Amino acid sequence: MRLPPIDTDPNRCERAFVGNTIGQANAVSDRVLDLRKCDLAKTDMSTKTLSGALMVNTNAKDANMRETVMSKVYAPDANFSGVDFTNAVIDRATFDGSDMIGTNFTNAVITGVSFENVDLTNADFTDALVGKEDVKRLCENSTVVDETRMQVGCRN
């Protein structure tokens, strides 16, 4: 995928704490929410709308993203390990190659999400609403084992 150059605004990473303010559900904004290579580890982005965000190589390790809306987010090769996505809405997002060890998806809505080559070791999907096709793909992930397989709804 060909992406635009990284935004040169020195405060671009701080936009994560504001999120998108117009057209959130369709990722329409007055400018790209460019969070590529930002260090957002251990920050509080709860209840923010990050729709349309570019989060390639972003470090969000142990961040609070409870009730965050992430629609049409492109976040491959990022670190979301230990992130709390409780009650989040994650729709049409790409996390390919990302680290999501111990990520909490409790009661999250997950639809149209790509988790190819994502490490989901010890991820928690308790009471998550996972789309039918998403379940199929998650169950093919070799790091989705034991309790996590049952939470996702894998049949074997």
Closest by Cα among 19, 13, 132 to 70: 19
Going by pLDDT thresholds of 50, 70 and 90, the confidence category of residue 20 is low
What sign does the dihedral 68-75-92-23 (CA atoms) show? positive
List the domains of the chain with CATH numbers.
30-156 (2.160.20.80)
Going by pLDDT thresholds of 50, 70 and 90, the confidence category of residue 10 is confident
Token pair, residue 41, equals 């580890």
- What tens digit of pLDDT does each residue of 136-151 get? 999 999 999 999 999 9
Residue 41: count of CB within 10 angstroms of its CB: 15
* Model confidence at 25: pLDDT above 80: no
Cβ pair 81, 60 in contact under 8 A: no
pTM score of the predicted model: 0.90
DSSP structure class, residue 89: E
Question: How far is it, in rounded angstroms, from Cα 81 to Cα 123?
Answer: 9
Residue 86: count of CB within 10 angstroms of its CB: 20
* Model confidence at 1: pLDDT above 80: no
Q: What is the mean pLDDT of the chain?
A: 91
- Residues whose CB is less than 8 angstroms from the CB of residue 152 and which lie 6 or more positions away in sequence, other chains included: 125, 128, 130, 135, 138, 139, 144
Cβ pair 26, 6 in contact under 8 A: no
- What tens digit of pLDDT does each residue of 64-76 get? 999 999 999 999 9
DSSP structure class, residue 16: G
